[in-house]
Chains A and B, each alone.
Chain A
Amino acid sequence: NAGVTQTPKFRVLKTGQSMTLLCAQDMNHEYMYWYRQDPGMGLRLIHYSVGEGTTAKGEVPDGYNVSRLKKQNFLLGLESAAPSQTSVYFCASSSGQGGAQYFGPGTRLLVL
């Protein structure tokens, strides 16, 4: 049972480049989330989804877009990367709003 997986594990981008981070879960969870963690900070919610085909904004959504075309996948896109988006990105999933969230191993992104 893989749980929550994230691709890629590490990426370096130049300012203005675009990329997509992929999150996949095999637990049949309805809810999925994208967080970012910066040094000395807790995790902050970027976007989340309460089911296939749905997305909603979190605390820090600017500069990111998401899509949930399949229940098991949640994609995070950066259309034009900025140095301020240098961070570690974590994906999580839960069975519902009452369930504990299970996290992936993270994607470390460096924007130069």
Chain B
Amino acid sequence: DQQVKQNSPSLSVQEGRISILNCDYTNSMFDYFLWYKKYPAEGPTFLISISSIKDKNEDGRFTVFLNKSAKHLSLHIVPSQPGDSAVYFCAWRQAGTALIFGKGTTLSVSS
């Protein structure tokens, strides 16, 4: 059973608008959630993370929200730019282990 679920395979947004990428998880024992961004033919690059003791973390245009009661987190990108078009993976890290990745959401930002 998938421990990290990204239920939307794709998302299309206009430049300047908000992009919201969602992730659901099943296990309550976690240390950190991380978001990675991946361009074609490149490795994933770390974007932003949130620890289990927080409900929000912000870095420039990127904000991650964590709702522990709903076992849900979301990544907000404001404003969206064409260069943000990529595949976004959320990943769960339980303390002391490697990452468990979701299947990814492909974001397309049109100008």
Interface residues of chain A, those whose CB is within 8 Å of chain B, are: 4, 33, 35, 40-45, 48, 58, 90, 92, 97-98, 100-106
Pull 20 A–B residue pairs with CB atoms less than 8 Å apart, ordered by A.
A42-B4, A42-B91, A42-B101, A42-B102, A42-B103, A42-B104, A43-B101, A45-B98, A92-B43, A97-B97, A98-B31, A101-B46, A103-B36, A103-B43, A103-B45, A105-B41, A105-B42, A105-B43, A106-B41, A106-B42
Residues of B within 8 A of A98 (CB): 31-32
Q: Which of B34, B41, B96, B97 contacts A100 (CB 8 A)?
A: B34
Residues of B within 8 A of A90 (CB): 43-44
Residues of B within 8 A of A41 (CB): 103
B41 lies within 8 A of A42 (CB): no
A42 lies within 8 A of B98 (CB): no
Instruction: Return the chain B residue nearest A100 by Cβ.
Output: B46
Give CA–CA (A58, B99) in the complex, Å. 10
Nearest Cβ in chain A — how far from B86, in angstroms? 13
Given contacts A4-B43, A101-B46, contact A33 B103 (CB under 8 A): no
